[in-house]
């Protein structure tokens, strides 16, 4: 049994319209939500084994704040492949993960995150900023994850619901 935590980056700032999309930082609300989601994961004892994250500044800041708040003490793996990733990119990245990792968190962007969630669960769910979808998978090896594997959506946590 494997677990995936899909997290959409926290709320970003559009204050500086000259910044390229990849470089947009978090708003204060985004920082606050990332911290509260991290504390929530820690309280629920859902600290991931591996955190994979987009290289976009808003995702990097989300990962830094969340991992500190939840007590994750390993290195975050940043990859350009998660920046505006399609579901196929997410499957590919997960295939390369070590099987000893039971729970993996992915911090990325919409619409790819919602599409990936829909492929695995068959459900249409929205992932507002800083939301986390918690999925159970009936696989033993990450390499076995594909579009035919049915995942169970255990929980969907949104900052406004905490």
Distance (Å, rounded) from C-alpha 42 to C-alpha 127? Answer: 20
Q: Mark out the alpha helices in the chain (DSSP H runs).
A: 28-43, 57-70, 87-95, 112-121
**Residue 106: in which H helix or E strand, if any?**
strand 103-108
Hey, what domains does the chain have and what are their CATH numbers? Answer: 2-11+43-161 (3.40.50.1240)
Name the least confident of 10-24, 34-48, 74-88, 121-135. 10-24
pLDDT tens per residue, range 21-70: 999 999 999 999 999 999 999 999 999 999 999 999 999 999 999 999 99
What are 11's two structure tokens? 């709320």
Closest C-alpha to 104, from 50, 141, 45: 50
At residue 14, the pLDDT reads 87
Distance (Å, rounded) from C-alpha 94 to C-alpha 92? Answer: 5
Q: Residue 13: helix, strand or coil by DSSP? A: coil
Alpha carbon 18 to its chain's center: 27
Kindly give the interhelix angle for 112-121 and 87-95, rounded to the nearest 10 degrees. Answer: 70
At residue 13, the pLDDT reads 92
Distance (Å, rounded) from C-alpha 130 to C-alpha 94? Answer: 21
At residue 15, the pLDDT reads 86
């Amino acid at each position: 049994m494997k677990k995936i935590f899909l997290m959409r980056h926290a709320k970003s700032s559009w204050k500086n319209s000259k910044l390229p999309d990849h470089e947009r930082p978090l708003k204060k609300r985004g920082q606050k939500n990332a911290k509260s989601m991290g504390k929530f994961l820690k309280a629920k004892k859902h600290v991931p084994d591996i955190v994979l994250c987009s290289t976009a500044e808003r995702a990097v800041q989300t990962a830094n704040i969340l991992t500190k708040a939840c007590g994750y003490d390993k290195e975050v793996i940043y990859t350009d492949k998660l920046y505006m990733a399609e579901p196929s990119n997410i499957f590919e990245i997960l295939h390369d993960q070590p099987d000893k990792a039971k729970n993996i968190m992915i911090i990325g962007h919409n619409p790819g995150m919602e599409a990936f969630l829909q492929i695995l669960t068959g459900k249409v769910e929205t992932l507002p900023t800083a939301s986390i979808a918690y999925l159970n998978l009936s696989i033993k090896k990450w390499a076995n994850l594909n579009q035919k594997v049915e995942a169970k959506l255990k929980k969907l946590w949104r900052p406004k619901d905490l």
